[in-house]
Amino acid sequence: MKFERSETGFILSHKDQIVLQHSHSSPILFVGTGNATYDMYRGNFDIKDYVNERIALRCFTIKGDGQAVRIEFHYEGELQITLCAEETPEGRLKIGFHDAKESLNRVWIRLDASKDEKIYGCGEQLTYFNLRGHNFPLWTSEPGVGRNKASYITWQADVKDRAGGDYYNTNYPQPTFVSSDRYFVHLQTTAYADFDFRHSDFHELQCWAIPDYLLFDCEQSFPALVHNIYGLFGTQPEMPDWVHDGVILGIQGGTETTLEKLHKAKAAGIKVAGAWCQDWQGIKITSFGKRLQWDWQWNPDLYPELDSKIHALKREGIRFLGYINPYVLEDFPLYQEAASKGYLATRQDGSKYVVDFGEFYCGVVDFTNPAACEWYKGVIKTNMIDFGLDGWMADFGEYLPTDCTLANGKSAEIEHNDWPRRWAKINHEAIEEAGKTDDILFFMRAGYTGIQRYCHTLWAGDQCVNWNIDDGMPSVINGALSSGLLGNGIHHSDIGGYTTLHGMKRDRELFMRWAEMAAFTPMMRTHEGNRPADNHQFDTDTETLCHLARMTRIFTHLKPYIKAAVKENALTGMPVQRPLFMHYEGDALSYEIMYEYLFGRDLLVAPVYEQGARQRKLYLPPDQWIHIWSGEHYQGGWVEVEAPIGKPAVFYRASSADTVLFAKIQDAAEDLL
Q: Which of 24, 39, 152, 644 forms a contact with a second copy (CB under 8 A)?
A: 152
Shortest reach from residue 329's CB to a second copy, in Å: 32
CA atoms of 342 and 128, how far apart (whole Å): 42
Where does residue 578 rank: exposed (0-12), middle (13-18), buried (19+ CB within 10 A)?
Answer: buried
Shortest reach from residue 512's CB to a second copy, in Å: 30
Which of 395, 471, 539, 596 is catalytic? The answer is 395
CA atoms of 447 and 462, how far apart (whole Å): 14
User: Does residue 102 interact with a second copy by CB under 8 A?
Assistant: no
User: Does residue 75 interact with a second copy by CB under 8 A?
Assistant: yes
User: Does residue 79 interact with a second copy by CB under 8 A?
Assistant: no
Contact 144, 165 (CB under 8 A): yes
CA atoms of 274 and 317, how far apart (whole Å): 8
- Residues ≥6 apart with Cβ < 8 Å to 603: 520, 561, 650, 651, 652, 653, 662
User: Does residue 30 interact with a second copy by CB under 8 A?
Assistant: yes
Shortest reach from residue 56's CB to a second copy, in Å: 5
Q: Which range touches a second copy (CB under 8 A), out of 153-161, 332-340, 552-560, 641-649?
A: 153-161
Q: Which of 12, 29, 55, 582 forms a contact with a second copy (CB under 8 A)?
A: 55
**Count of residues in contact with a second copy, rule CB under 8 A:** 17
Q: Which is nearer to a second copy, 9 or 391 (CB)?
A: 9
CA atoms of 218 and 198, how far apart (whole Å): 22
Shortest reach from residue 30's CB to a second copy, in Å: 7
User: Does residue 245 interact with a second copy by CB under 8 A?
Assistant: no
Which of 398, 413, 471, 539 is catalytic? The answer is 398
Q: Which is nearer to a second copy, 34 or 636 (CB)?
A: 34
Q: Is 395 a catalytic residue?
A: yes
Which of 462, 494, 516, 596 is catalytic? The answer is 462
CA atoms of 545 and 270, how far apart (whole Å): 7
Per CB under 8 A, which of residues 288..327 are in contact with a second copy? none
Contact 434, 381 (CB under 8 A): yes
Q: Is 398 a catalytic residue?
A: yes
Amino acid at 595: Y
- Residues ≥6 apart with Cβ < 8 Å to 351: none
Contact 583, 653 (CB under 8 A): no
Q: Which of 6, 51, 201, 304 forms a contact with a second copy (CB under 8 A)?
A: 51
- 110: how many CB neighbours lie within 10 A of its CB? 20
Shortest reach from residue 203's CB to a second copy, in Å: 14
User: Does residue 285 interact with a second copy by CB under 8 A?
Assistant: no
Using CA atoms of 356, 389, 461, 352 in order, give the dihedral in degrees to the nearest 10: 20
Q: Which is nearer to a second copy, 86 or 196 (CB)?
A: 196
User: Does residue 28 interact with a second copy by CB under 8 A?
Assistant: no
CA distances from 370 to 400, 425, 465, 562, 658 (A): 17, 12, 39, 38, 48
Q: Which is nearer to a second copy, 56 or 259 (CB)?
A: 56
Q: Is 462 a catalytic residue?
A: yes
Shortest reach from residue 50's CB to a second copy, in Å: 8
Q: Which of 65, 115, 150, 542 forms a contact with a second copy (CB under 8 A)?
A: 150
Residue 492: name the closest of 454, 467, 461, 471 by CA: 461
Give the footprint of a second copy on this chain (CB under 8 A): 30, 32, 51-56, 59, 75-76, 149-150, 152, 155, 158-159
Catalytic residue numbers read: 395, 398, 462
